[in-house]
Structure 1
């Protein structure tokens, strides 16, 4: 497994492990719209009202992130970023880097989730910043039920970012609307 693959796996495993550790106290706090900014502001979005932020503990590799939960819709958004392994420096729309990140991510998901099913994969470019994103849509059983998952990956300079949206399988319309909000330029 390449170092990039290991870093992507650590990011993802940290995110998945955090799903089971939703802070009940944070859920009781007043939910407001949350602005999320990654990669020095090159990838930012505003989550709709109803999401409550809960910082994730830093991973052993140094990945940092936040889990946003919406109790009403049973939706989770995980936003994390980490240093790219071996001091690698990537362009804002680095095709080979993004292709490798997606490949490693899919491989790791298949190992971690026995019923992981990739539905689609897209290449996107943010109009305002030129930042390249890869979007992977999938399904899997997580937290005791079938889920819809959209994972967005990007890299810029010496950092990589991952945003994962996890929704109930029965809420495709809400899931798609949230993804559209996150990708709005």
Structure 2
């Protein structure tokens, strides 16, 4: 399943951002525009994030059809992992499919807990950008021994599921909240959060 790709990336790629601190400083990268689900989900990242493509999924590990990008801000020590993959079982999801989002969120949290005993969900709510529903999961965790704050955004449309993972160090709650808000504020026609039902 494509979630295994996300988990392994989330657990390993955050280390890259930390290790990169020892490299020579480079000019800040320009803002990054991200478009997913054929343009139904769009957002911007502020300057300072370097983008690189994630390895394509493969049938051997159950991630066929998955693709994504990694964005690392070395100065802020923040990572954003974006992945788009086929929905589990090829199920078709409506753009604002509460049943689908409930199942996707439960599966995501379960997989995260299996991957890291330190993963602890804090709260969960539902957002909208245009007609597209988003499930937001805020959590704490520990990647490679580093305590982290994690915000994950899940969305589905048709046969595709998107997961956006925003990861910051736990000792920078203001920086994490600011980045999450920047991402959300850049989404077109976003409406207020609602508690999931």
**How would you bin the TM-score normalised by the shorter chain?**
0.7 to 0.9
TM superposition shift of 1:9: 3.5
Q: Deviations over 1:107-163 (max 9, x none)?
A: 11111111111111111111xx21000010011111321000000000011111000
Distance 1:66 1:169 in 2: 23
Aligned twin of 2:87: 84
* Distance 1:122-1:168 versus aligned 2 partners, 3 A rule: same
Q: Normalized against structure 2, the TM-score is what?
A: 0.82
- Is this contact kept in 2: 1:90–1:158, CA < 8 A? yes
Unmatched segments (≥5 aa) in structure 2: 189-197
- Is this contact kept in 2: 1:98–1:153, CA < 8 A? yes
1:74 aligns with 2:77: yes
- Is this contact kept in 2: 1:9–1:105, CA < 8 A? no
Distance 1:7 1:51 in 2: 24
* Distance 1:20-1:59 versus aligned 2 partners, 3 A rule: farther
Aligned twin of 2:192: none
Q: Deviations over 1:16-65 (max 9, x none)?
A: 3444456969x857511110111111111110000000111112222101
- Is this contact kept in 2: 1:29–1:52, CA < 8 A? no
Large movers: runs of 4+ above 2 Å: 6-25, 27-30
Aligned twin of 1:57: 55
Unmatched segments (≥5 aa) in structure 1: 1-5
Q: Is the partner of 1:32 in helix, strand or coil?
A: coil
Aligned twin of 2:131: 130
Distance 1:21 1:118 in 2: 24
1:32 aligns with 2:27: no
| RMSD of aligned Cα (Å) | 2.0
